[in-house]
Structure 1
Amino acid sequence: MRQQLITFAMLALCVAVYVPQDAAGREGEVFKAPRTQLTVEQLQGTELLPMIDMSFFAEPDWATGEPAAFTGTLILSGAPLEMREPVERDVYQGEHIFPAVRIGFVPHDGQLIPRETGIIDTREWSDSFWDVIVGTGAYWREEGDDGWSRASFPVHLVDRYIGQVRNCVGTFVYDEQEVSNVAVQCSQESADVNAEQLSNIRAMVPADYERGAWHTAASIISLHEQRVANRFPVAPLSEIDADGKISAYFDKRIWTEAPTSLGAVYMDGTLYAHPPVTRHGVYPYPDEMRYGVYSTTKSMAGALAMFYFAERYGEEIFDALITDYVPGLADANDWQGVTFSHALNMATGTPVGEEATMLLEPLILADTAEEAIANIAGLGAWPEGPGEKFTYGSTNTFVLSYALQNYVEEREGPGVPYWDLVHKNVLVPIGADDFDLLRTRGDEGTSRIPSLAYGAFPTRDNAAKIAALIADEGEFEGRQLLNRNKIREALGRTNWQGYPTPEFWSKRYRHSLWETPVQAGLFCRIDVPFMLGYGANHTLFLPSGIVVFRYMDEQNMDIKPLVRAVEAVRSSCG
């Protein structure tokens, strides 16, 4: 696995790309009565089915009759994943295996609600490369199914190393006693186009049914209904994009058939969303779709945590010394004088090297937090001192995560996970409690800490809720959840300039937010702070108050045309 992932990191630096060619779902057959794909006979068989339009996985408008309630556990066996064979790299160990996993479901009013909405670690049951995140699906009945009921559900394959996501849907038929195989299709992803990770995926997964009611069913249903009620209203992007200039930007093809996983504009409390187009039609569960946002995690989770603890404990946390809270770095010369603020701002003056290779060996391949810290301590010398120069390195953010854990335990007591406090006091109040992110693999219990550098898996509502909280300077419904002053610094609303960056897409970096100037109109020049993750996953904060989301794999770093298109809807210059 180590050598395979090193190959992946090196390929990420190359320009050769793989473009999935199968776009049959874009022009091919869509679902209409009578059903011609995913029939009962096909689902009961073992033959691998072709890639088809995603509409076949959704409940049709003409569903009829009363379906049997699916109550209990869907037990999926490990099965081969049919995906493009990489040409330039070896297959990662377990990459071609759909994981064996147990998924508990609660039925309610036609919805199939999973018991667990976070990452399900599959290592207990499987040798697969993938963990899973399951979303709320549906169950129904169709004429011609000879008494069988149907169900489908969003299932996302997430790697447990750096955070790519394969957006899949599974479907099966069932009766009171048994289930068919589960047909799985993945036609969209958040992955690395340069490392040949984009591919259509399909599987026919053997399944079993462990029937039984959950004693927690009422609370699971209540929590789900509360999440749905608290979501931002969603409207078609076309309502504010009559000339189609914003949607044209989201649809612009560079390498692949379906470049944008999420395209949306948040304005005045409403999320105006572009259809979640895959290579085989529209994804049927847009509210449940998960995104792998890579280094956007540094802002979405890392800055969020720092802003929260600055409010909880005081702004002096930004000046706390890393060496006081990371014993493994206490005697490392390069880390003397480095503060939490330096780590958040990529100005530690410590070795980072080439991001792809220096990130992989010390951090991604380290199973435990202690192993990662020991690796980072041995990276060597660096000419700049703390606070002297911006030098991007994900190792900085992981060190901050480790330091935060010890800082919080010093104040709250041993064994209190810092992310639990962020979850309870920030994510739950704003309605983003199902937001999840990667943690260290080899640690147990409270010793598993988030990397904070990568590995966040938001839904679109999660992303919008967190961004809106930051745009509102940490205030939510009259309560100050995050430190206002530090957020204002990050958004460029104070005199603090942050750190100059050498990148063509950005001029400054402040508390994990990038910033670039944009000529938004003839007499309108604005500075745009933004979150950024690998692949060109952008969250843009416009001075007008609008927030723009564009998550993609395409590496399109030029955000200026998108900013100008949105500025035509509401100008930041009045």
Structure 2
Amino acid sequence: MFKQHYLITFLCILIWGCEHQPESWEGEILEQPRTKLLVSELLKGDAQELLDMSFFAQPSWASPAKESFSGTISLSEAVLNFPKAKEYYPGENLFPSFPIGFTSYQNKLIPLQQQKISTQTNSSSYWDVVVGTGKIWHEEGDGAWDRASFPLTLTDRWVGQARNCVATFVYQKDTISPVCVQCSQETADIDDQQLGNISGMIPATFLPQKNEDSVIIIENFQKRQASKIPILPLKKLDQSGRIASYFDTFRSTNTPTSLGAIYHDGRIYLHPPKTRHGNYPYPEEMRHGLYSVTKSMAGALALLYFAERYGEAIFDELITDYVPPLATKEEWKGVTFSHTLNMVTGTNAGEDAARLFETLIAPKTAEAAIAKIAELGDAPPLPGEKFHYASTNLFVLSYALQQYVSEKENSEESYWKLVEENVLKPMQAENFSVLHTIEEPGKTAIPILAYGALPNLDEAAKIALLFANEGRYKDRQLLNKDKVQQIFSKNEWPGYATSGDYRGSHYRHSFWSKKITSQKCAFDVTYMLGFGENYIVFLPNDVILFRFLDEHDLDIDELIQETAAVTNICK
């Protein structure tokens, strides 16, 4: 599968106008001249009404920017316009203060910091941020000013929701306007009344400076672009529009799906990424808070990588040997790393909101969370006997992995750094972000592993393809092959029956599975699943279905059946 993808990518580089993200995603076309976000309005810095996203995007009639852009923007803390049905969490209505450097290349606006930016040390805002690659351009009516916009994700430090925003400003060689920000889509907890549009005019200063590492930055950007999986509009595959119609079905809003896509024959077929104010202008940069998909996308990824690095015996290591606060707890005796990944620890854990908050969210630090988990007590089954889903199990695994890897490597550095360097970086996916504990300065933060993954589409697809290819990337075996095969039931290990759990019939190394019956055939599907519901579904014949949302649609059998029909799975 990956060989096919890289042949297609290579051909794309050779052929002008190759199959990749179209310039337009069928949203509103901005007319000339523009009527909103005028230069005078941006320079004045007054609050703006909520606008169609086309006003934040480069229009088809724009010309190249007159000036390149290189330097650091310092964004100031500012009050956001964020109507909510309930009281704000502390700092939730504040845009954070942070600096971000950029360099431009071929009218692309490339941020120097590609990974999540922590703002907690210099801001009282609730939000950290991820900045993506944007664009610079010139519009005839703007006089001496050029324009820029870039995608920006606001994400909290506790559960990893994603607010999909776009920022825009005008600039000259040594100055910029205030930055207008609008967020019109999200993957957040709709049960906590988290749906909402956010906007603000953010004060900003600009320090122009040529970056000494600009050549390296541009080279890395080119490598990432060349490695991306080709993207086509979904309608080229779904000509009847039945799959698109499913993605667009009204639930709580008329834009329930943040991302809908199908991987097939080496390409991604992407449904236009809709927000409540038009299509998102940077679909490849859009990030998604996937909640419990993290258990598979990060938890299984980490343990299966270390099973390849150190050997499969890591699955049988005892939790009590690496988590001292649990060593004296009767309920944790005999619990292995494998038991935690497979939700069969036999401990008195649960997934109710109150318990999740008390054990993982409120404590903040790793030690405080483990101390709370140590108070949960025992449950009737012995380890390995009965499936019982609990996010605390994955955090216990993360804590144990940190101690295990520290002993193996004789280093206190986070084990996730090894995953980034040896699994994600070879795939050009090292900017994939996971939520960590909140520690004092100098203390190693570790991944929660239970929730908090924040991928863009390319990162999510590459990680999914790594599992689909039995842990192999190009000529390198990155994940333990036998354990990946167990996930997809390619050997005699059946996994754990979930005893009628509504989410799936079996659970294997943090992946769910069930049988689907279409009009023409029956087949097993394996999938990652997160609250909301976020799905990555592995179908026969190397087809992968992506559907990210937060408006609750657990029953996707019909969507899977439609995908099977369009991609001829039954043949």
TM alignment of 1:298-447, pairs within 5 A? 298-444=295-441, 447=444
> Is 1:34 aligned to residue 33 of structure 2?
yes
1:164–1:189 Cα contact (<8 Å) kept? yes
> Equivalent residue for 2:17?
none
1:469–1:476 Cα contact (<8 Å) kept? yes
> Is 1:263 aligned to residue 264 of structure 2?
no
> Equivalent residue for 1:125?
122
> Is 1:540 aligned to residue 537 of structure 2?
yes
Residue 109 (structure 1) shift? 1.2
> Equivalent residue for 1:6?
none
One-letter amino acid of the counterpart of residue 336, structure 2? T
Q: Which moved more, 1:459-468 or 1:141-150?
A: 141-150
One-letter amino acid of the counterpart of residue 232, structure 2? A
Distance in 2 between the 1:416 and 1:78 partners? 32
One-letter amino acid of the counterpart of residue 344, structure 2? A
> Is 1:49 aligned to residue 48 of structure 2?
yes
1:179–1:207 Cα contact (<8 Å) kept? yes
Q: Which moved more, 1:439-448 or 1:472-481?
A: 439-448
1:355–1:394 Cα contact (<8 Å) kept? no
Q: Deviations over 1:386-431 (max 9, x none)?
A: 1111111111000101111111111111223211111111111122
> Is 1:561 aligned to residue 558 of structure 2?
yes
> Is 1:151 aligned to residue 148 of structure 2?
yes
1:108/1:507 CA distance change after superposition, 3 Å: same
Identity %: 51
One-letter amino acid of the counterpart of residue 40, structure 2? E
> Equivalent residue for 1:515?
513
TM alignment of 1:8-27, pairs within 5 A? none
Could you say what secondary structure the match of 1:288 adopts? coil
Q: Which moved more, 1:54-63 or 1:445-454?
A: 445-454
> Equivalent residue for 1:199?
196
Which of 194, 214, 218 in structure 2 is aligned with 1:217?
214
Q: Deviations over 1:174-206 (max 9, x none)?
A: 112221111100111001111110111100111
2:351–2:389 Cα contact (<8 Å) kept? no
Residue 572 (structure 1) shift? 3.5
Distance in 2 between the 1:27 and 1:243 partners? 17
Residue 66 (structure 1) shift? 4.0
Distance in 1 between the 2:555 and 2:351 partners? 22
Residue 312 (structure 1) shift? 0.9
Could you say what secondary structure the match of 1:102 adopts? strand
Distance in 2 between the 1:148 and 1:441 partners? 42
Residue 504 (structure 1) shift? 1.9
2:248–2:254 Cα contact (<8 Å) kept? no
> Equivalent residue for 1:76?
75
1:292–1:457 Cα contact (<8 Å) kept? yes
1:117–1:133 Cα contact (<8 Å) kept? yes
Q: Deviations over 1:467-499 (max 9, x none)?
A: 011011111113211111111111122221211
Q: Deviations over 1:73-101 (max 9, x none)?
A: 11111111111222xx3210000001111
Which of 536, 550, 556 in structure 1 is aligned with 2:547?
550
Could you say what secondary structure the match of 2:284 adopts? helix
Could you say what secondary structure the match of 1:456 adopts? coil
Q: Which moved more, 1:158-167 or 1:176-185?
A: 176-185
> Equivalent residue for 1:85?
84
Which of 440, 460, 464 in structure 2 is aligned with 1:463?
460
1:32/1:227 CA distance change after superposition, 3 Å: same
CA RMSD across the alignment: 1.6
Question: TM-score with structure 2 length normalisation?
Answer: 0.93
One-letter amino acid of the counterpart of residue 355, structure 2? M
Q: Deviations over 1:200-253 (max 9, x none)?
A: 110011111112122221111111111011000101111111111111111111
One-letter amino acid of the counterpart of residue 353, structure 1? G
Residue 555 (structure 1) shift? 0.8
1:203/1:305 CA distance change after superposition, 3 Å: same
Residue 520 (structure 1) shift? 2.0
Could you say what secondary structure the match of 2:141 adopts? coil
Could you say what secondary structure the match of 1:437 adopts? coil
Distance in 1 between the 2:77 and 2:87 partners? 21
1:181–1:207 Cα contact (<8 Å) kept? yes
Residue 146 (structure 1) shift? 2.1
> Is 1:278 aligned to residue 278 of structure 2?
no
Q: Which moved more, 1:345-354 or 1:105-114?
A: 345-354
| Over 6 Å off, 4+ runs | 26-29
TM alignment of 1:496-511, pairs within 5 A? 496-501=493-498, 502-511=500-509
Distance in 1 between the 2:58 and 2:501 partners? 46
Structure 1 spans left out of the alignment, 5+ residues: 1-25
Could you say what secondary structure the match of 1:457 adopts? coil
1:29–1:52 Cα contact (<8 Å) kept? no
One-letter amino acid of the counterpart of residue 126, structure 1? S
Q: Which moved more, 1:437-446 or 1:43-52?
A: 437-446
1:69/1:376 CA distance change after superposition, 3 Å: same
Could you say what secondary structure the match of 1:360 adopts? helix
Question: TM-score with structure 1 length normalisation?
Answer: 0.93
1:28/1:395 CA distance change after superposition, 3 Å: closer
Q: Which moved more, 1:116-125 or 1:29-38?
A: 29-38
Q: Which moved more, 1:534-543 or 1:486-495?
A: 486-495
Distance in 1 between the 2:64 and 2:392 partners? 56
Q: Deviations over 1:259-318 (max 9, x none)?
A: 111101111211111110111111011111101001100000000111111111111111
Q: Which moved more, 1:391-400 or 1:348-357?
A: 348-357
Distance in 2 between the 1:305 and 1:121 partners? 23
> Equivalent residue for 1:16?
none
2:72–2:206 Cα contact (<8 Å) kept? yes
Distance in 2 between the 1:298 and 1:174 partners? 43
Could you say what secondary structure the match of 1:171 adopts? strand
Structure 2 spans left out of the alignment, 5+ residues: 1-24
1:60/1:30 CA distance change after superposition, 3 Å: closer
2:28–2:54 Cα contact (<8 Å) kept? no
One-letter amino acid of the counterpart of residue 224, structure 1? F
